Amino acid sequence: MDDILVVGSIALDSVKTPEGESVDALGGSAVYFSLSARNFTPVSLVGVVGADFPEAHRKMLTGRGVDISGLKTAAGKTFRWVGKFGKDLDKAKTLDTQLNVFETFKPELGAAHRKASVLFLANIDPDLQWEVLAQMQKPRVVACDTMNFWIGLKLPALKELLSRVDVLFVNEEEAQKLAHTTNNVRAAHALAAMGPRVVVLKKGEHGTLLCAGGKVFPFPAFPVKTVKDPTGAGDTFAGGFMGSLAASGADVKDLGALKRAVAFGSVMASFNVSEFSTRRMETLSRAEVDERFAEYRELLALPDAAVPA
């Protein structure tokens, strides 16, 4: 079993969806990832918050087994995001972004963090992702996420980073923008050609494409009756994926382990969207995860061909 280090944002989010709203609720890429991955393997979080960050959130993360020794407190306010989801729950409309202390965030890793076996570089400036990677000793697996903002602003740095990572997480819109194609299969292959041995192309409620070993494998999303808040679903998916992969100790060439990781990622995201903010992830048990994983496997099972050739 490998341990994971995640470097990313910690935020206080205000979100409105057709199902309701939450105000100044816990969020951020590193938080969603950690609360998901901790169900599989030890996770350490590196990030920054302001003096206004509630102590209750620290206690919750620690109580769920997340190592927050790398969580720094800076003078000022915590990163805040305000967003709204309409009927199309795959796309959020950003109403306000206040970077606050996150604007000057410079990740500094402690000795223990540098030795982590698995590194997840959450959605932050590619230059910062590079700085983190440079501080690591010899991680067995390096994974990263990105977004349209960085694709447009720092494409050369991002492409250089992709040549050094093993796993890339990207959504449909980002993949098409990076690969200059509207075909997801071609986009996945094009991104893999940039360096990552594994590309995970997320399509929200329409599932996931896994590109590995020169092939593309489609996976459906786990069916959810009611989606209350899609915020953090992608990071939660990544946490489940990387948590499963790290816990197994498998190589990124192991297609079986990668397929299992996608399934766990889908399961974790399905729990996350069922409540606002991190509420569901805070109470989730491994037994519940395994039960839903079994349901997901059942959904994917196909009978032998009954139609004559």
Domains annotated for the chain, with CATH where assigned, are: 4-300 (3.40.1190.20)
- Cα–Cα distances in Å, from 133 out to 7, 137, 142, 291? 10, 9, 9, 36
Q: Give the type of residue at 238.
A: A
HSE, CB side, 13 Å, CA atoms: give it for residue 12: 19
Q: Give the helix ranges, DSSP H, for the chain.
A: 29-37, 55-63, 111-114, 126-135, 148-153, 155-162, 172-179, 184-193, 233-248, 255-272, 279-283, 286-300
pLDDT in tens, the chain (309 residues): 789 999 999 999 999 999 999 999 999 999 999 999 999 999 999 999 999 999 999 999 999 999 999 999 999 999 999 999 998 887 889 999 999 999 999 999 999 999 999 999 998 888 899 999 999 999 999 999 977 666 777 788 888 889 999 999 999 999 999 999 999 999 999 999 999 999 999 998 899 999 999 999 999 999 999 999 999 999 999 999 999 999 999 999 999 999 999 999 999 999 999 999 999 999 999 999 999 999 999 999 878 776 666
Calpha distance 191→170 (Å, rounded): 10
